[in-house]
Structure 1
Amino acid sequence: MSDAFTLNVEKRDVEGKGASRRLRRLAGKVPAIIYGGKSEPQNIQISHKDLVHHLENEAFYSHIISLVVDGKAEDVILKDLQRHPAKPVILHADFQRVVKGQKMKVSVPLHFINEASAKGVKQGGGIVSHLVSELEVNVLPKDLPEFIEVDVANLELGATLHISEINLPKALESVELAHGHDLPVVTIIKPRGMGSDDTATEAEGEADAE
């Protein structure tokens, strides 16, 4: 994992919805909170512009972030983000403290590879359909990955790949699997208008032509 993202933040003394609205509108700041570990929760405020800039990087969502408060840095992960339903505005952010040697629950983005060459696409003419875009895992801070690769090269038309079939690094434990839920992750579906026998019929036609 690369070096942590760094954000300079300020303590926030005023609370309440009205204060938060004024903070966003007049100061261009996002109200946020740091919690977890052995310290008390701390209200902070972050530059909206700086936060949005970092959010453009996918790794920010599953990466250790260094929040600098009054010159003191705290390692955290982004735990929750509230966005305005109609405007490109961040309303609030929750950050959880990272405790060295203690596992944490993190949602890690999935990167699907070999889609164009997958059996169900190349041989069956299917379309790859992502059923989930991230996977929640339990992991030590030092082993936190920026993403998890999901190889669909051998996935056939109509087949579905589940969490248990992902080649997870040993350091990661799927939260869903730990609870006995082997959820579907990706499948290859037939394009609209393609009947169940279309592929076979097409192959037979080609054979007859020869």
Structure 2
Amino acid sequence: MITSLKAMERTDCAKRIRKQGYVPCSIYGPGVERNIDIQIEEKELNRFLKDHFIGSKTKVKINDSELSCVIKNIERDPIIKNPIHIEFYASSEDRLVKVKVPLKFKGKEYLLKNNLVLNINRNEIVIQGILKDLPEYIEVDVSLMKEGSTLVMGDIVLPEGIKLLSRQNEVVVQVAQAVHESEAEIAG
């Protein structure tokens, strides 16, 4: 289910908008005639961002129109981590879109049982696909990996119709033997 966000066109400066309890945002892309500056209520946006992130699909409702969008960027306050600006990329449901989505690793507990650790080098992937077919994230099963094995971007199974744009040979994860403190002290 795609969540819908209620927004208003923004006419005031970003600083003033934030003081009023809103987050300034912008919408751009082939789904709009011109870039649109909008504002979304901060409380609503914080609830939304608990389950959504860069690459997530959403509908943004402005007045009587509803736009199909993908979150392209989330700028956060460096100290309190609240969103201070969000960029939405608007497109039609049947148009190709390039996005960066998170990787979720399944099966890490099996590695732990075998005294192995998963070293994660990349936790997101750049993909392209039709907006309506884009996944919110890509799940990667690491449960069968052995010590010394490596997984690269090209090894990741993508849904049908989704194309990998990250480098094929870019290392995503590596599996290594877990080192216990006593062993580390002996080695050191």
Match of 1:53 among 19, 40, 47: 47
The correspondence of residues 115-194 of structure 1 with structure 2, limited to 5 A, is 115-118=108-111, 121-123=112-114, 125-177=115-167, 181-192=168-179, 194=183
Task: Find the aligned partners of 1:92 and 1:150 in 2 and give their Cα distance.
Answer: 30
The runs of at least 4 consecutive aligned structure 1 residues that moved more than 2 Å come to 60-64, 189-195
Task: Find the aligned partners of 1:30 and 1:133 in 2 and give their Cα distance.
Answer: 27
Query: TM-score when scaled to structure 2?
Result: 0.87
Aligned-pair distance for 1:170?
2.7
1:23 match? 17
> Structure 1, residues 2-55: CA drift from partner, whole Å, max 9, x if none?
x211111001123xxxx2112102x10111111011511011111111111100
Q: Structure 1 residue 80 and structure 2 residue 76: aligned?
A: no
Query: TM-score when scaled to structure 1?
Result: 0.79
Q: Structure 1 residue 32 and structure 2 residue 25: aligned?
A: yes
Task: Find the aligned partners of 2:120 and 2:144 in 1 and give their Cα distance.
Answer: 15
1:11 match? 9
In structure 1, what residue type is equivalent to 2:64? G
Match of 1:89 among 64, 82, 106: 82
Comparing both structures, which one devotes a greater share of its residues to strand? 2
Q: What fraction of aligned residue pairs are identical, expressed as a percent? A: 27
Q: Structure 1 residue 98 and structure 2 residue 105: aligned?
A: no
Computing the radius of gyration from Cα coordinates, the structure with the larger value is 1
> Structure 1, residues 106-152: CA drift from partner, whole Å, max 9, x if none?
1222121122224xx444x1211222222110011121112212111
In structure 1, what residue type is equivalent to 2:103? L
Equivalent residue pairs, number: 182
In structure 2, what residue type is equivalent to 1:45? Q
Comparing both structures, which one devotes a greater share of its residues to helix? 1
Q: What SS does the aligned partner of 1:116 have? A: helix
CA 72–51 in structure 1, closer or farther in 2 if over 3 Å, else same:
same
> Structure 1, residues 54-92: CA drift from partner, whole Å, max 9, x if none?
00004x543321111112111111111111111232211
Task: Find the aligned partners of 2:104 and 2:80 in 1 and give their Cα distance.
Answer: 28
In structure 1, what residue type is equivalent to 2:4? T
> Structure 1, residues 170-205: CA drift from partner, whole Å, max 9, x if none?
31111113xxx421111112333558xxxxxxxxxx
Aligned-pair distance for 1:100?
3.1
- Flag structure 2 segments of 5+ consecutive residues without an equivalent: none
